[in-house]
Amino acid sequence: MKLKDLNGIPALAISELGEKTIRGLTSDSRQVERGFLFAALKGSKADGVAYAADAVARGAVVIVTSRGAKLGNVSVPIIYVDDPRRTLALAAASFYKLQPDVMVAITGTSGKTSVASFTRQIWAQAGFASASIGTTGVVSPKRDDYGSLTTPDPVELHKLLRELVEEGVTHAAMEASSHGLDQRRLDGVRLFAGAFTNLGHDHMDYHATVEEYHAAKLRLFTELLPKGAPAIIFADDPFSKPTIAAAEQAGCTVLTVGRKGDFITLKRVEHERFRQHVEVHIAGEIFEITLPLAGDFQVANGLVAAGLAMASGVPAAAAMRGLERLKGAPGRLDLVGATEDGAPAYVDYAHKPDALENVLTSVRPFTTGRVIVVFGCGGDRDKGKRPMMGEIATRLADVVIVTDDNPRSEVPATIRSEILAAAPGAREIADRREAIQEAVAMMKTGDTLIVAGKGHEEGQTIGDVVLPFSDHVEVAQALKDRLAREKGA
Ligand SMILES: CC(=O)N[C@H]1[C@@H](OP(=O)(O)OP(=O)(O)OC[C@H]2O[C@@H](n3ccc(=O)[nH]c3=O)[C@H](O)[C@@H]2O)O[C@H](CO)[C@@H](O)[C@@H]1O[C@H](C)C(=O)N[C@@H](C)C(=O)N[C@H](CCC(=O)O)C(=O)O
Ligand SMILES: Nc1ncnc2c1ncn2[C@@H]1O[C@H](COP(=O)(O)OP(=O)(O)OP(=O)(O)O)[C@@H](O)[C@H]1O
Ligand SMILES: N[C@H](CCC[C@H](N)C(=O)O)C(=O)O
Ligand SMILES: [Mg+2]
């Protein structure tokens, strides 16, 4: 492809260098090959400018960087732009060209993965070839790939979108993390609609204030969605009002869902152990449906997903039928099994205060005994979450076991002590496997166990090493061991 065919490149650079052939693009010098465009980006740990020479040595033919960056002597042309991350995203979109016809993005502190998965499932049941992209990976009719980042970097993302189109996918739902929005990872995506779930405490290590965190999320509506695009907004969150105002101001077609919602109005919810009966009103019509998932928050996620599906052409009745057949996203209030007398054990991805509060509150109505929770907090992530989660666990659970969750470069005992400082009476069991074994062993009739924080994850990151570890596997094994002990006794 010629440089002139890439979007985002300033006209002056096109007039001088437009005929240059570009064979690929990247912001990581280690991935540069012959004929590549290299974007030298200032990051949180390093400055890509320092790797420009390395990129040229590996075959870069042009460098894009921010105005004012000091590159020194490099032997290839340099294009200076105001926002090189955005330029890279727009260029990547034009390089890979193809995107599914209907692309939607979901933002919010919690529920993105679930809503992306639910939207894909509702579309699929309505007959569309659909995909979801996010924390748990990429799912489409032809793949189920494990993922790492919630929102992939733009080059990887556009390569993936093209592959999905080539597989025949026409509809895709993706998560828009605040990091992803802030770092322009979605700027080249041709979005049909956007959605907002809620705003709580997370990532305060990255964003200076809650307002800045909210503003990063709002970029989806204020800068990325085209004028008039549907914005599905959950109406019952404390941050719904400012989000609705910003989306309206930006010219989006705001469609609200929830108890205070106009597009889909939630009227009644009756909880059962593993499902919920829900009544909603849509354009004067009453729907009574059974959602086969536990947890109030899943009703909220289901309505946002139904809203996205309806906004993109699925009739209301079909969207409601879709909700009745939903499968939870892996590791989200995921029932692993139960003890011999029926006490359930769940794995859940709550790794932030509001999520933990929600999940512990959600299981209380069907727990006649004790709520037991096992959790920890990740290292090298927002430290403010630690005492908050300690306090929430102590307030809402009867038995609290504090353990390790991806210590990364931090000292695990320090992370635990920061949680325990706000969790009087909690037990400390450093080893996560042992903590799960203990929790399962103490379960009695009527109890509910929640193992929170890692959800679908398949590894425990200690230092730079990722050791294989799955809460799902460990809980299943602990239940099996318990059964064997009971039988042997
Ligand atoms: C803090 C953060 O978000 N970092 C992301 C960011 O990296 P960065 O730009 O800050 O990178 P850096 O390490 O400072 O390096 C600066 C530049 O030098 C380049 N470099 C570096 C070394 C070298 O040899 N050559 C070279 O060219 C790097 O490629 C980079 O372009 O941009 C990279 C490319 O898009 C991401 O891979 C990287 O994600 C890291 C791995 C990460 O852990 N991110 C997490 C926090 C994250 O993004 N999470 C969100 C939200 C999760 C949620 O849902 O709650 C997500 O979307 O997953
Ligand atoms: N709508 C919601 N409101 C509050 N809590 C929720 C909601 N949906 C999910 N949760 C909680 O948050 C956890 C993560 O859910 P999910 O993976 O769907 O969210 P996410 O926004 O993708 O999170 P992440 O940013 O970590 O990828 C769940 O396991 C549950 O504990
Ligand atoms: N996407 C989240 C994942 C956190 C998962 C939790 N297990 C942890 O390690 O803190 C983040 O990067 O903050
Ligand atoms: Mg997610």
Render the burial of 326-351: b for 16+ CB within 10 Å, e for the rest. Answer: bebbbbbbbebbebeeebbbbbbbbb
Q: What pLDDT score was predicted for residue 343?
A: 96
Distance separating alpha carbons of residues 338 and 344, to the nearest angstrom: 4
**Average pLDDT value for residue range 219-240:** 97
Report the atom number in ligand 2 closest to the C-alpha of 349: 29
**How confident is the model over 374-383, as pLDDT tens digits?**
999 999 999 9
**Which fold does the domain 334-488 belong to in CATH?**
Protein-Tyrosine Phosphatase; Chain A (3.90.190)
Q: Is 448 annotated as a binding residue?
A: no
Q: Which two tokens stand for residue 271?
A: 């909880």
Render the burial of 89-113: b for 16+ CB within 10 Å, e for the rest. Answer: bbbbbebbeebbebbbbbbbbbbbb
pLDDT at 454 over 90: yes
Ligand nearest to the CA of 293: 2
Of all residues in the chain, the percent with pLDDT exceeding 90 is 91
Distance 261 CA to ligand 4 centre (A): 24
**How confident is the model over 339-362, as pLDDT tens digits?**
999 999 999 999 999 999 999 999
- For the chain, give every residue range classified as CATH 3.40.1390.10: 3-85
Q: What pLDDT score was predicted for residue 90?
A: 98
Distance 443 CA to ligand 4 centre (A): 30
- For the chain, give every residue range classified as CATH 3.40.1190.10: 98-324
Q: Are strands 465-468 and 459-462 parallel, antiparallel or unpaired?
A: antiparallel
Q: Is 406 annotated as a binding residue?
A: yes
| DSSP tag of 5 | G
**How confident is the model over 239-257, as pLDDT tens digits?**
999 999 999 999 999 999 9
Opening angle at CA 352, ends 362 and 402, nearest 5? 85
Ligand 2 site: residues with CB under 6 angstroms? Answer: 108, 110-114, 135, 150, 175, 177, 197-198, 297, 300-301, 329, 332, 348-350, 354-355, 358-359, 455
Q: What pLDDT score was predicted for residue 327?
A: 95
Ligand 1 site: residues with CB under 6 angstroms? Answer: 27-30, 41, 43-46, 48, 51, 135, 149-151, 153, 177, 179-180, 183
Backbone phi, psi, residue 394, to 5°: -65, -40
**How confident is the model over 72-87, as pLDDT tens digits?**
889 999 999 999 999 9
Q: What pLDDT score was predicted for residue 62?
A: 98
Q: Is 84 annotated as a binding residue?
A: no
Q: Is 481 annotated as a binding residue?
A: no
Select the more confidently predicted residue: 296 or 190.
190
Distance 487 CA to ligand 1 centre (A): 50
**Which fold does the domain 98-324 belong to in CATH?**
UDP-N-acetylmuramoyl-L-alanine:D-glutamate ligase (3.40.1190)
Distance separating alpha carbons of residues 323 and 270, to the nearest angstrom: 15
Residue located nearest, by CA, to atom 13 of ligand 1: 45
Helices (H) and strands (E) in the chain, counts: 15, 23
SS3 260: coil
Report the atom number in ligand 1 closest to the C-alpha of 352: 55
- pLDDT band for position 486 (50/70/90)? confident
Of all residues in the chain, the percent with pLDDT exceeding 70 is 99
116: left (phi over 0), alpha (psi -120 to 50) or beta: alpha
Contact 67, 82 (CB under 8 A): yes
Report the atom number in ligand 2 closest to the C-alpha of 110: 21
Q: What pLDDT score was predicted for residue 149?
A: 74
Distance separating alpha carbons of residues 240 and 251, to the nearest angstrom: 17
CATH 1.10.760.10 is the classification of domain 3-85? no
- For the chain, give every residue range classified as CATH 3.90.190.20: 334-488
For the chain, the farthest-separated pair of C-alpha atoms sits apart, in whole angstroms, at 82
In this structure, the chain runs to a length of 489
- pLDDT band for position 43 (50/70/90)? very high
Distance 8 CA to ligand 2 centre (A): 34
Distance 240 CA to ligand 3 centre (A): 24
- pLDDT band for position 147 (50/70/90)? confident
SS3 445: coil
Q: Is 111 annotated as a binding residue?
A: yes
Residue found by looking up tokens 């006794």 in the block? 489
Q: What is the mean pLDDT of the chain?
A: 95
> Whole-model pTM above 0.90?
yes
